Amino acid sequence: MGSGTGSNAKALCQAARSNESEYTVELVLATSPDAGICEVARAENVVLEVIPASVKGEEFSTKLCSLLEQFRIDVLVLAGFMRLVSPKVLTYMNGHVVNIHPALLPEFGGKGMYGLRVHEAVLAKGRRETGATVHVVTEQYDEGAVIGQTKVPVYAEDSPASLQQRVKESEHQLYPVAINQYIRDNFRNSVGSGPIADKSAVS
């Protein structure tokens, strides 16, 4: 689910075709019909659903939960989704909601830390190293257990845009690997049964 260019969604769809993949991409959810992620869904032949940005709060959560149920989604993967995920959705998914952030959390995360702002902050602090983090989603921005991280060098000549580009390339490598790891760690034989089944209880 996202509203950005969809480069991470593309990387996840492409990696899902590998024989080694623990997951398939059943649905792409976008919050704008014009977002690049919609183009990615079409190109990758994945079902696309759009919940317009004008749909907010309880109405958004209810629509989202009904799609997650309809498509029997086990893990909700955020890739450029800008809003907080509601407690209703987190509860519905049994906590199986993950996100990727373009920095080494817990640093350079939280409300307002998105897009180029993250990389501007890293450069302003004079860091020689940054990276990307895949983490479990909670009710707060960019908190929750870290599933995987990858480090990326910062060069003296970097601009926020060049740094963003380098970090994005590392995100595309990290995200499928981290999702596969998350599935191995949290699911056994019940993948595809939807979040209603309590996977953590399956042995």
Catalytic amino acids?
Answer: 101
Residue 131 or 195: the one with the smaller Cβ distance to ligand GRF is 131
Within 10 angstroms of residue 159's Cβ, the number of other Cβ atoms is 12
Annotate 125-140 with three-state secondary structure: CCCCEEEEEEEECCCC
* Residues between 2 and 21 that touch ligand GRF (CB under 6 A): 2, 4-9
Measured CA to CA, the distance from residue 49 to residue 30 in angstroms comes to 6
- The Cβ-side half-sphere exposure at 98, using a 13 Å CA radius, reads 27
Residue 21 or 32: the one with the smaller Cβ distance to ligand GRF is 32
Q: Give residue 162's Cα distance to chain centre.
A: 22
Min dist. Cβ of residue 203 to ligand GRF (A)? 33
The reply on whether position 142 binds ligand GRF by CB under 6 A is: no
CB proximity list for 59: less than 8 A, separation 6 or greater: none
The reply on whether position 171 binds ligand GRF by CB under 6 A is: yes
The reply on whether position 168 binds ligand GRF by CB under 6 A is: yes
Q: Write out the DSSP string of 27-77.
A: -EEES-TTSHHHHHHHHTT--EEE--TT--HHHHHHHHHHHHHHTT-S-EE
Which of 1, 51, 75, 100 lies at the binding interface for ligand GRF (CB under 6 A)?
A: 100
Min dist. Cβ of residue 200 to ligand GRF (A)? 26
Which of 38, 44, 60, 80 lies at the binding interface for ligand GRF (CB under 6 A)?
A: 80
Which of 79, 147, 152, 183 lies at the binding interface for ligand GRF (CB under 6 A)?
A: 79
Measured CA to CA, the distance from residue 89 to residue 108 in angstroms comes to 25
The reply on whether position 163 binds ligand GRF by CB under 6 A is: no
Min dist. Cβ of residue 112 to ligand GRF (A)? 13
- Provide the binding-site residues for ligand GRF, judged by CB under 6 A: 2, 4-9, 79-80, 100-102, 168, 171
